[in-house]
């Protein structure tokens, strides 16, 4: 058996790959920040994950084609807002293109200016520690400076292209 130093070409289409990825249930977040011009920005992301407890690190990824990529790449801080079960409409709004995402949205300002969304199950205020370009996305690694959570909050979940709430076994 020979060892290959490169991956073999995929045996599936992009559509098939996306469908398979959709079988992994995730939480739903809205990542928020302020631009250099002090404008609030935010987007729905389910690519959030923990990296390390010491130091406290998390990651999320953003498409290379995203209009907000330059602002997130240049900014020093952002917040990851983990959505609660009753925030489905907010997740859809921040995922839509061309929508006024911030109209009527209640938030407070985090210590470094990133918006913290009211009602979130948890928030992570992050220093924009590093970025890695991989494929058609940029992976952001944030060093968590502050975090909060609502004990007992039910999470908003995403699976197979649909939103769910938790169902304890």
Summarised one tens digit per residue, pLDDT across range 116-128 is 999 999 999 999 9
- Taking residues 100-106, what's their average pLDDT? 95
Preceding amide of 55 cis, omega within 30: yes
| pTM of structure | 0.93
pLDDT band at 62 (very low <50, low <70, confident <90, very high): very high
Residue 141 CA to residue 162 CA, distance in Å, equals: 27
In contact, 27 and 82? CB cutoff 8 Å:
yes
Place of tokens 């498409």: 63
Residue 120 CA to residue 86 CA, distance in Å, equals: 9
DSSP tag of 117: E
* Count of helices and strands (H, E) across the chain: 3, 12
Residue percentage of the chain with pLDDT more than 70:
96
Q: Is the dihedral of CA 111, 147, 24, 61 positive or negative?
A: positive
Q: Is the dihedral of CA 169, 21, 134, 65 positive or negative?
A: negative
156 burial via Cβ count (<10 Å: 0-12, 13-18, 19+)? buried
* pLDDT at residue 169, as a whole number: 66
* pLDDT at residue 95, as a whole number: 95
């Amino acid at each position: 058996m020979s060892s290959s130093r490169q991956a073999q070409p995929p045996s599936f289409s992009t559509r098939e790959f996306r469908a398979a990825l959709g079988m992994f249930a995730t939480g739903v977040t809205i990542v928020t920040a302020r631009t250099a011009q002090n404008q609030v920005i935010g987007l729905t992301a389910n690519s959030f994950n923990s990296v390390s407890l010491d130091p406290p690190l998390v990651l999320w990824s953003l498409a290379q084609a995203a209009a907000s990529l330059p602002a997130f790449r240049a900014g020093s801080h952002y917040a990851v807002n983990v959505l609660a079960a009753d925030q489905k409409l907010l997740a859809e709004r921040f995922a839509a293109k061309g929508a006024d995402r911030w109209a009527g949205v209640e938030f407070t300002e985090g210590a470094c200016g990133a918006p913290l969304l009211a009602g979130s199950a948890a928030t992570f205020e992050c220093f924009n520690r590093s970025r890695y370009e991989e494929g058609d996305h940029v992976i952001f690694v944030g060093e968590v400076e502050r975090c909060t959570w609502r004990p007992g909050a039910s999470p908003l979940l995403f699976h197979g292209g649909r939103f769910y709430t938790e169902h304890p076994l």
